């Protein structure tokens, strides 16, 4: 089975989310193969799960002063600050064996990444179940691992969230390269002193710390692609976006992901204009 691996890119929060939704719709309509992409965020951004409360006016003011972008994801889960990391988006579906239930599909993808990290010399584990984070930092994805998310030395390395639409799925994930608590201390600025002074840092680990070095980005991506290939039976071949996907992503960015209507809402109602949503995905996301 052949899948498409898109080249590394960086984008704003709205562009990244618009492109990922465009890829999902393209796959679901039979216009594209299963697709994997790794990307970064410029400027640094906070993404919120689509069920989370939007930022209030004071938070938005602090974000603007700090030069931090923010956007609502189409996927569920909790808040992720994207800075020094590899973000991935995987689009696939029933044709590739993702027939559910949700937790089983999470596990398949998690096992693929586990194989990939092993190729880098890193032993990681799949979290056995969701743990409830406490306190005001409970809104942060990396405050606690959820089902089949990857941990190293008991600390969270990868946070994931999923959206199921029809017979297709989109899974987002953030792979930390390093963790800098400045955002949670200085910008989020809602946590009590004990949490601001390292509570979250004790719960997360970046790839640099876990390995004692940071491999080249291309080497990390190659290893993770190989691990996913071995687990999912998908051979990832380099490919490009279609003109139709680029056009759809541009429209979604302009009409949806930069709009107050989307970013200030709570929930997926009207996500695709037809009322369908991703049942159960919120329960299995971090």
- Give me the phi and psi of 175, to 5 degrees please: -105, 110
Q: Distance of CA 14 to CAs 45, 48, 200, 263, Å?
A: 10, 12, 26, 10
pLDDT digits (tens, 9 = 90+) for 55-112: 888 888 888 988 989 999 999 887 889 999 999 999 999 999 999 888 899 999 999 9
Pull the structure tokens for residue 12.
């704003």
Count CA atoms closer than 13 A to 87's CA, side-chain side. Answer: 27
Query: In this structure, is the dihedral angle defined by the CA atoms of residues 238, 92, 38 and 233, taken in order, positive or negative?
Result: negative
- Is there a catalytic annotation at residue 50? no
Q: Looking at the predicted structure, is the pLDDT value of residue 278 above 60?
A: no
Check residue 250 and give its pLDDT: 98
Q: Looking at the predicted structure, is the pLDDT value of residue 234 above 70?
A: yes
Q: Looking at the predicted structure, is the pLDDT value of residue 238 above 50?
A: yes
Q: Looking at the predicted structure, is the pLDDT value of residue 207 above 90?
A: yes
Among the ranges given (216-220, 260-264, 280-284), the one the predictor scored with the smallest mean pLDDT: 280-284
Domain boundaries, the chain: 2-284
Bridge-partner residues for 171, per DSSP?
Answer: 90, 162
Which residue did the predictor score with more confidence, 195 or 80?
A: 80
Please state whether 79 falls in left (phi above 0), alpha (psi between -120 and 50) or beta.
beta
- Of 171, 198, 204, residue with least CA distance to 185: 198
Check residue 249 and give its pLDDT: 98
User: Of 50, 141, 152, 225, which residue is the catalytic one?
Assistant: 141
pTM over 0.85: yes
Could you tell me the pLDDT band of residue 146, with boundaries at 50, 70 and 90?
Answer: low
Pull the structure tokens for residue 190.
């809602």
Check residue 136 and give its pLDDT: 44
2-284 to CATH, choices 3.30.930.10, 3.40.190.10, 3.40.50.300, 1.10.3720.10: 3.30.930.10
Count CA atoms closer than 13 A to 69's CA, side-chain side. Answer: 21
Which residue did the predictor score with more confidence, 85 or 283?
A: 85
At 6, is the secondary structure helix, strand, or coil? coil
Highest mean pLDDT among 125-129, 179-183, 188-192, 249-253: 249-253
Highest mean pLDDT among 152-156, 183-187, 216-220: 216-220
Check residue 17 and give its pLDDT: 98
């Amino acid at each position: 089975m052949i899948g498409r691996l898109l080249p590394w890119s960086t984008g704003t929060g709205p562009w990244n989310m618009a492109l990922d939704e465009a890829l999902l719709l393209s796959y679901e309509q039979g216009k594209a193969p299963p697709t994997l992409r790794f990307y970064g965020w410029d400027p640094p951004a906070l993404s919120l799960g689509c069920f989370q409360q939007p930022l209030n006016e004071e938070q938005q003011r602090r974000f603007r002063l700090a030069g931090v972008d923010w956007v609502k994801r189409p996927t569920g889960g909790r808040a992720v600050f994207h800075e020094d990391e590899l973000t991935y988006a995987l689009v696939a579906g029933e044709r590739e064996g993702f027939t559910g239930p949700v937790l089983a599909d999470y596990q398949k993808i998690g096992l693929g990444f586990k194989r990939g990290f092993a190729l880098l010399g890193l032993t990681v584990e799949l979290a056995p179940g969701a743990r409830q984070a406490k306190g005001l930092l409970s809104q942060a994805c990396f405050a606690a691992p959820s089902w089949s998310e990857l941990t190293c030395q008991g600390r969270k390395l990868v946070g994931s969230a999923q959206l199921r639409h029809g017979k297709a799925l989109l899974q987002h994930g953030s792979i930390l390269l390093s963790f800098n608590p400045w955002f949670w201390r200085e910008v989020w600025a809602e946590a009590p002193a004990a949490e601001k002074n390292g509570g979250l840092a004790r719960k997360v680990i970046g790839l640099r710390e876990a390995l004692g070095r940071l491999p080249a980005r291309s080497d990390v991506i190659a290893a993770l692609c190989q691990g996913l290939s071995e687990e999912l039976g998908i051979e990832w071949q380099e490919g490009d976006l279609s003109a139709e996907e680029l056009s759809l992503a541009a429209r979604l960015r302009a009409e949806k992901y930069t709009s107050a209507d989307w970013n200030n809402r709570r929930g997926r109602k009207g996500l695709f204009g037809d009322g369908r949503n991703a049942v159960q995905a919120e329960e299995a996301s971090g």
